Amino acid sequence: AQTVTQSQPEMSVQEAETVTLSCTYDTSENNYYLFWYKQPPSRQMILVIRQEAYKQQNATENRFSVNFQKAAKSFSLKISDSQLGDTAMYFCAFKSPDSNYQLIWGAGTKLIIKP
């Protein structure tokens, strides 16, 4: 069965620093999709970034980028120049034909940006 593991329950960094959140997953599939979602306090869950497994190039969205290591089954999220508004729960998720296209979620990392 597919699983997603986020090994850091909580992290905190100073504003403007760079932070990396880790995510590993387990699958026997070759084609799948990976996502990072963000859930700010008392606000709605939103997509941060996504990656198709067949693409070798790491996805980037402004200050957010991923380090996708397919062989290692690792999908870390890097946030550059962190801002107070980045304070949130961050969830890594995985989706594949074998999961019947259901999102399999990690338990989340609580990220606190300190002023």
Partner 1 sequence: ETGVTQTPRHLVMGMTNKKSLKCEQHLGHNAMYWYKQSAKKPLELMFVYSLEERVENNSVPSRFSPECPNSSHLFLHLHTLQPEDSALYLCASSQDIRGSDEQYFGPGTRLTVT
Q: Collapsing DSSP states into helix, strand and coil, what is residue 27?
A: coil
Distance set, CA 13 to CA 47, 93, 96, 97, 98 (Å): 22, 23, 33, 37, 37
Q: Which of 93, 98, 89 is nearest to 42 (CA)?
A: 89
Nearer to partner 1, 43 or 85 (CB): 43
92-111 footprint of partner 1 as x/- string (CB under 8 A): ---x----xxxxxxxxx---
- Rounded to the nearest whole angstrom, what is the least distance from the CB of residue 6 to partner 1 in the complex? 9
**Which 1-40 residues touch partner 1, going by CB under 8 A?**
4, 9, 33, 35
User: At 82, is the secondary structure helix, strand, or coil?
Assistant: coil
Amino acid symbol at 93: A
For the bound state, the minimum distance from the C-beta of residue 26 to partner 1, rounded and expressed in Å, comes to 13
**Residues of the shown chain interacting with partner 1 in the complex, contacts defined by CB under 8 A:** 4, 9, 33, 35, 43-47, 50, 52, 91, 95, 100-108
